[in-house]
Structure 1
Amino acid sequence: MTVKLDITQIKKKRMKLYPAMLYYLATIVNRYSEFRTAINQEGELGIYDEMIPSYTIFHEDTETFSNLWTPYIPDFEAFSMAYANDMQRYGSNYGMIGKPDVPENVFNVSMIPWSTFDGFNLNLQKGYDYLIPIFTMGKYYRDDEKIILPLAIQVHHAVCDGFHICRFVNELQELINS
């Protein structure tokens, strides 16, 4: 499902978009078990107590990506500082895994800041048992007085349906507006 979020308040508050959205997404993901349900490496179904955002960063010089992760901290300022520390320490690491020791309880977030979109879908090899949500953001744009950010949300129907996604999006928008 792809939605258009109004991120006007983020821009008005001069917040950095990526860490703000990582925090907001993680906050809502951690509220509900359907977004924390996974099959572990032993093939067992379970629910993580907490999920951690894993996110892509772009290396302009090589036009490649790396994945970093930052522990979820319920306080926005503390999370933002942890994000900034991770970016400073690991942001120049190349390779798929920019920050080592990736925990099992991560959910994936990426951004395609070069293009806006109305729909986006990932095709996962062996995705039938990947239950954790995946979030992809696009290029934001102005629509009259609003600043709009496209967000694609990919979930597994075995643990999440339209009701859960709509509740997620509504609460995410409320959090952004607050």
Structure 2
Amino acid sequence: MTEKRAIDLDTWPRREHFEHYLTRVECTYAMTVELDVTEMVAALRVVPWKSYIAQIWAIASVVNRHAEFRMTLTADEAPATWDIVHPAFTVFNPERETFANVWSPFHNDFSTFHERTADVLARYRTATSFQPQPDIPSNVFDISSVPWASFTGFSLQTRDGWKHLSPIFTLGRYRETEGRTVMPVAIQVHHAAADGFHTARIVQELQELFSDPGWLPK
């Protein structure tokens, strides 16, 4: 059973930062980057794996490496971290021009994750409700895709969402530039959970996975 674990405030280096951005200067920020996905796209052309699932797995993999991106609050609004977080993601219904929000349990093994997630996408691609799965757990973070447009900036304005500590990722359409393929990735972060350093680190680690897709089974 996945648990949330309270953070020891007496030894936590970010205690003051957390309290400042959660209660005094309630603050979220967004960072949009273009990541080079040339090698991953090339690898996916010769293996039977879905690009969207590969993107989701890579993001979930780096998110789960770092406690600051698995943060939540206890019942009394003290900082805590989940042992593991799972990706919730969108699946588009083109006939209705609406999307459903679904999720799949994260697994370190890409093949296992791909099999489960492909089943979720197939099952709910014609869903007519916003959240068709009845069992979405609390320890999820959000990924959405806007594959119809590339962008250089993206941010979310969430009213009364100041206690949402999980990161939110938005992916855009591939773009060709100087012989390389790039993909825009926007990350919405609660400043109480993570600073620019932490977000820059996760961006770098995501780039490393895209540049060296040896995790894609042949």
TMscore range, shorter length? over 0.9
| Counterpart-to-counterpart distance in 2, 1:29 and 1:154 | 13
Written as runs of structure 1 = structure 2, the 5 A alignment for 1:78-157 is 78-157=112-191
1:59-88 deviations in Å (ceiling 9; x for gaps): 100100101101001001111111111122
Written as runs of structure 1 = structure 2, the 5 A alignment for 1:1-178 is 1-14=31-44, 15-39=49-73, 43-178=77-212
SS of corresponding position for 2:183: strand
Task: Give the structure with higher Rg (CA).
Answer: 2
Amino acid at match of 1:62: R
TM-superposed deviation, 1:91:
2.6
Contact 1:52-1:71 within 8 A present in 2 as well: yes
SS of corresponding position for 1:27: helix
| Counterpart-to-counterpart distance in 1, 2:75 and 2:129 | 23
Contact 1:91-1:98 within 8 A present in 2 as well: no
Amino acid at match of 2:94: E
128-137 or 94-103: which moved more? 94-103
TM-score for both structures, normalised by structure 1: 0.95
SS of corresponding position for 2:190: coil
Q: What is the aligned-residue identity percentage?
A: 40
SS of corresponding position for 2:203: helix
| Counterpart-to-counterpart distance in 2, 1:113 and 1:7 | 14
| Counterpart-to-counterpart distance in 2, 1:42 and 1:88 | 39
- Cα distance change of structure 1 residues 41 and 17 upon mapping to structure 2, 3 Å threshold: farther
Amino acid at match of 1:4: E
CA RMSD of aligned residues (A): 1.3
TM-superposed deviation, 1:90:
2.7
SS of corresponding position for 1:55: strand
84-93 or 128-137: which moved more? 84-93
Contact 2:93-2:127 within 8 A present in 1 as well: no
- Cα distance change of structure 1 residues 52 and 94 upon mapping to structure 2, 3 Å threshold: same
TM-score for both structures, normalised by structure 2: 0.78
| Counterpart-to-counterpart distance in 1, 2:204 and 2:194 | 15
| Number of residue-to-residue matches in the alignment | 178
